[in-house]
A and B are shown apart, each in its own frame.
Chain A
Amino acid sequence: MAIINYRQALNDALREEMTEDPTVMIMGCDVAPGGSFGVTLGLLDEFGPKRVRSTPISEPGFTGAGVGAAATGLRPIVEILYSDWITMCSDQIVNMAAKMRYMFGGKVNMPLVIRSPFGAGGGVAAQHSQSLEAWFNHIPGLKVCTPITPYDVKGMLKEAIRDNNPVMFFEHKRAYQLKGEVPEGDYTVPFGKAAVRMEGTDITIVTYSMMAVYAQSAAKKLAEEGISCEVIDLRSLLPLDYDTVMASIAKTGRVLVVHEAMLRGGIGGDIIAEIIERGFDLLDAPPARLGALNVPLPYNAGLESLCIPNEATIMEAVKKALSDK
């Protein structure tokens, strides 16, 4: 298997799907010359200006055009340069893309992918750092995914493009250089199937995206101290693979949910509520959650790092959850 980075995996997925299906097209700010993160490099030369389009800076307009195009026979991929700006086009996503099939009695397809870099890091401050996935998890009609390995991001983007529903595809903006093994040839990664990244017996860490990377490094250090963590990377949040989560908790009896989004209103609270409803009796200790501080992301590197969970705070949270053991 070839070792490629996350950016190349995305680029390969787009190229392969556009080669296979002439109805697939992509649009967004600066997409034609390759996009701000280089994900669409080379696609313009291969597929031409009708299918690889740089848009005006008008997120509601071009996201809405994606909705109309998806309803009439294309499989558009809309790139929102930073996920914070999804707030501008959320009317088109929440009230149109997510609702049309239902409102119209099932008589329309909505094969729309909204790709967007999210997450903090690098001092881009409060308007370029947010993790708003919980907002969209609240909306029936959408699918929400957060793949973090090159293998997953390629297979899941292909899955998203082929899906007849609107998919919120959140790419971590610090992940584009992450490397990993990706097989040759076509494959997809389904929604709603979590990946057990590390097996363990003392506690289950439920997480996704960049926090799955941090949780694994925290778990490796904790293993040196004799603490055995099972790390579950959810990969998709809507649908969410509670079967894998509950099977793990049945084994460990303890759970910590970690996400980069702010704790208040984050998906961690929802996941823990669901865990309690499904298996309160399986728990040997109160379920724990770790998320960002409830503050807008500050610019200063020191202040920024205080806000977001990291290896050390994950280790600390694990130890706290095991403190009565």
Chain B
Amino acid sequence: MVQIFKDTHIDFIKLRRITLPAVLILVLASLALFFIRPHRFGVDFVGGSLVQVRIFGPKAPVSTEQMRATLEQLGAGGASIQKFGESNEFLIRTEKVQSYGGEKFSDAVLGALRQEFNCDSASLAKDPKSAQADSVVKRMDTTIAPRMGRELQGKALLAVIIGLFGILIYVTFRFDFRFGTCGVGALVCDVLITLGIFAALGREISIPVVAAFLTIIGYDINDKIVVSDRIREDVRKFRKDGFADIVNRALNETLSRTFLTGFSVLMVLLCLIFLGAAAIQDFALTMAIGLLVGTFSSILVLPQLVTEWEKRMPSRTRRI
């Protein structure tokens, strides 16, 4: 029998003096970060134009600065430029939907890039193998009116809030109000911290990222329920022991499950991060961050919150 955690006796509850203030600080830092450096929303949300190009040929590699200079000549200096790794692939985005000399943004950008980076006929004749006549290839091109964006934005947020409220009611009904409040509170903290880390990394919020957040919330809920379930069971089983001891026991009992499940999911996510395409990478990275934050909070924040509550307001009946 392969086993990773054998009969552990870690005092998780004692750690609350460190973990609870730490979470508070992280949440505040995340909130502060939202104001200092607001999230960048993808075109799905703010609207705008986006074009992804790949540059081949002898003028490659092209640096972000060269790209910026070309775009400035076009009058699109404000566009954001993102380069994908070492491949000469660029994501160029503008939030302004305007016409550039009568052309759409993507056509204008493509035209300008072709003028700049297409190889001339001389080098084409010299080395026809490596040089392609058309060295700038459009990979993707998107235009979205911002009106749709605002609607999507509001809807996604409202969906999450209503979802959380539903969970609060369910957990209150199945466990008690204390677990419901602490669970949803920990969940909100997890999401905020994940958003904070996301903001610190300077990533952009797109539909796949929103999907990742929804996935994390789903996973996180399950994680917290599993831990709460064990505490509920042990409280019934070991009526004589102190609350903190019971919670500690429950956490140690579920530790191997917490690790195994988290590790399995993380393994898949790492595969997606290292092998997946750009859109999937964003998704997997967000999920991996959320997974780690959520898993730690399930054993380091939620039980400690519940214990704190019990200490201040002991429940006589212990109906949990």
Decide if A and B are genuine partners: no
